């Protein structure tokens, strides 16, 4: 077998489709063998295949942009540290260095080189959020990255001789969830092996000794497709600004200037806040990850995502700014700023993109880390729970309710959380009136209430945002509702982004923010407003105040089930 000097276009198409299939197989193996609900239920992960030089050829269907795109650029560090002559069949590499991969030390990247007849032909890699990595429980309270847990340079986790027992013992000794943390790592190793096995079988089928030429053509096609989309836009400079809550009383200002010139785009974050003293900082790798995702999502969402689609996008941020922080800045809650970048870029690109772009979303994924570890605790636990607010209203469509955007992370079912821990979710429901009013309403947030059984103290770290700065609307739409974090047993508002110690009888309420509305609310059809009221998305009062529609409920005031015929439109001011 010999490596073809030019790629047959038919073979390229067949291989591209097969790579997509085997990447989904890799992800399925990872999810089905993972130990923690973070990976198994929430899919806080990414899987990808790379050519022999470490260029990303493709990604699995699931996962989150912050992992996949950061891993794509992070492979440069892995390949530079371990060139082919320093590797052997059976090696598996590991790192969680924030500046090399996904921006926080809870995210562990496992990379496996694939050899064929002694020659390195490809890489498979995955990046997963660990249930725990030691240090402070994940929050923004640290002042240096050293406080945030066990930081691992690029190391060999395994060789052909077997596991690195010293490294495994080191990890186990430094985390609160040793079995889950190591179990997820084993799952990553196994999933990479599944991908490698399927790749070599495909190469046998097509008679290939390597895939670099085919990979180059796959990446070239994505690059050309994105460049074509860029050429369709009007050249110019487009700017936008946005504010996140930051830490305590120090909000974070984000600024962007997008310059479109022909078939390329330059994105500069000059004017953004300097890096924070606390862990809301973003490494440049993560900034690039969500920037490239946003550009592709806005202009060419159907283009396969790989190294080629990154090439027309040039990203800069001032060194020492919140979007290009300097080691050893704290970074544990970097997503609370990084997740704002797609909405910020959509706001900037809105005048340039025909057909419009969605209004601002609730953006930052809400991540709560619950722990019970008192001396009297029969089974100490550490549990990471994810949740999402609403997506902004879209041109021609309402925003999605309780949907993670721009992340792809899911919320675990209540039954899973209550089976694993003594936590009890007493309420989990859509939050009426949280979506920003508009011709196309913003997506709703949710209301979640949590208590615990067992009579022991417990703690929570709520890594949340948009409590002080709700999602603004677009094109005349109104803002979504702000979030809230309260102990309803005492009525006290709880501190965010840091450890909160809770009494046994505490009852925690999380009100997730809504997405911004799109277009003037008075342009929403009366029938749509009535549907929103019937479905419980919009209250009677909000229908009158924001939409100018007077709706009366004529049914039994004690009824829990209220059919559409029990509502009547009395009039409207249109």
Mean pLDDT of the chain: 96
- Pair 269, 325: CB distance under 8 Å: no
Output the pLDDT for position 6. 67
Residues 6+ apart with CB under 8 A from 554: 566, 567, 568
Percentage of the chain exceeding pLDDT 70: 99
The average pLDDT across 199-224 equals: 96
**What single string gives the DSSP state of each residue in 198-217?**
HHHHHHHHHT-S--HHHHHH
498/407 Cα distance (integer angstroms): 22
* 373-377, 427-431, 461-465: least confident range: 373-377
Task: Note whether 525 and 574 are within 8 A (CB).
Answer: no
The pTM of this model reads 0.96
**Three-state DSSP class for 52?**
coil
**Segment 179-203 mean pLDDT:** 98
The torsion angle over the Cα atoms of residues 494, 495, 501 and 503, rounded to 10 degrees, is -10
Higher per-residue confidence, 574 vs 490:
490
Confidence at residue 4, expressed as pLDDT on a 0 to 100 scale: 41
Residue 107 has pLDDT above 80, yes or no: yes
Mean pLDDT of 538-554: 97
The pLDDT of residue 5 is above 50:
no
* Main-chain phi, psi angles of 444, to 5 degrees: -80, 150
Given a cut of 70, whether residue 103 has pLDDT beyond it is: yes
H helix intervals, 232-327: 284-299, 307-310
**H-helix or E-strand containing 435?**
none
Q: Tokens for 522?
A: 């008075």
Question: Which tokens belong to 148?
Answer: 């945030």
With cut-offs at 50, 70 and 90, classify the pLDDT of residue 335: very high
pLDDT band for 249, please (50, 70, 90 cuts).
confident
Predicted local confidence at residue 3, as pLDDT: 42
For residues 32-38, give the mean pLDDT.
Answer: 97
Considering only 4-13, 313-322, 523-532, which range has the smallest mean pLDDT? Answer: 4-13
Residue 7 has pLDDT above 80, yes or no: no
pLDDT in tens, 370-394: 999 989 999 999 999 999 999 999 9
Percentage of residues of the chain with pLDDT beyond 90 = 95
Confidence band (pLDDT; 50, 70, 90) for 1? very low
């Amino acid at each position: 077998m010999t490596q073809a000097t030019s790629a047959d276009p038919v073979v390229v198409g067949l291989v591209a489709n097969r790579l997509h299939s085997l990447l989904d197989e890799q992800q399925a193996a990872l999810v089905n063998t993972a130990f923690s609900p973070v990976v198994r239920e929430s899919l806080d992960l990414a899987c990808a295949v790379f050519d022999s030089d470490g260029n990303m050829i493709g990604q699995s269907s699931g996962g989150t942009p912050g992992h996949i795109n950061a891993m794509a650029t992070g492979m440069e560090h892995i390949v530079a540290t371990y060139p082919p002559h320093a590797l052997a069949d059976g090696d598996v590499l590991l790192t969680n260095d924030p500046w090399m991969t996904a921006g926080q030390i809870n995210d562990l990247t496992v990379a496996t080189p694939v050899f064929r007849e002694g020659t390195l032909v490809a890489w498979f890699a995955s990046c997963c959020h660990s249930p725990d990595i030691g240090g402070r429980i994940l929050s923004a309270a640290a002042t240096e990255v050293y406080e945030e847990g066990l930081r691992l340079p690029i190391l060999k986790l395994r060789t052909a001789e077997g596991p690195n027992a010293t490294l495994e013992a080191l990890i186990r000794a430094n985390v609160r969830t040793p079995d889950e943390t190591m179990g997820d790592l084993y799952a990553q190793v196994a999933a990479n092996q599944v991908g490698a096995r399927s790749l070599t079988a495909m190469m046998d089928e097509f008679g290939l000794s390597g895939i670099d030429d085919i990979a180059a053509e796959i990446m070239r096609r994505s690059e050309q497709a994105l460049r074509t989309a860029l050429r369709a836009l009007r050249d110019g400079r487009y700017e936008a600004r946005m504010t996140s809550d930051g830490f305590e009383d120090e909000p974070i200002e984000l600024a962007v200037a997008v310059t479109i010139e022909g078939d390329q785009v330059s994105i500069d974050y000059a004017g953004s806040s300097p890096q924070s003293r606390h862990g809301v900082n973003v490494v440049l790798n993560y900034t690039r990850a969500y920037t490239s995702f946003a550009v592709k999502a806005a202009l060419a969402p159907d283009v396969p995502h790989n190294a080629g689609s990154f090439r027309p996008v040039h990203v800069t941020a001032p060194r020492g700014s919140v979007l290009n922080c300097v080691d050893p800045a704290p970074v544990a809650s970097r997503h609370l700023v990084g997740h704002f970048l797609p909405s910020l870029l959509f706001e900037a690109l809105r005048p340039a993109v025909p057909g419009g772009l969605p209004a601002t979303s609730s953006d930052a994924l809400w991540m709560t880390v619950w722990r019970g570890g008192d001396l009297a605790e029969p089974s100490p636990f550490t549990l990471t729970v994810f949740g999402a607010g609403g997506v902004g209203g879209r041109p021609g469509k309402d925003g999605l309710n309780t949907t993670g955007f721009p992340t792809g992370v899911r919320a675990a079912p209540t039954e899973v959380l209550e089976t694993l821990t003594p936590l009890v979710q007493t309420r989990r429901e859509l939050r009426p009136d949280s979506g920003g009013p508009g011709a196309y309403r913003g997506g709703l947030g949710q209301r979640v209430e949590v208590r615990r059984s067992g009579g022991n103290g417990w703690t929570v770290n709520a890594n949340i945002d948009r409590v002080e700065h709700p999602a603004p609307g677009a094109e005349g739409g109104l803002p979504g509702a702000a979030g809230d974090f309260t102990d309803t047993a005492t009525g006290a508002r709880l501190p965010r982004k840091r450890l909160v110690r809770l009494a046994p009888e505490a009852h925690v309420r999380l009100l997730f923010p809504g997405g911004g509305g799109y277009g003037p609310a008075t342009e929403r059809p009366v029938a749509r407003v009535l549907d929103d009221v019937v479905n419980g998305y919009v209250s009677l009062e909000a229908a009158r105040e924001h939409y100018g529609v007077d709706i009366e409920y004529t049914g039994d005031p004690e009824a829990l089930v209220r059919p559409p015929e029990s509502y009547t439109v009395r009039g409207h001011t249109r």
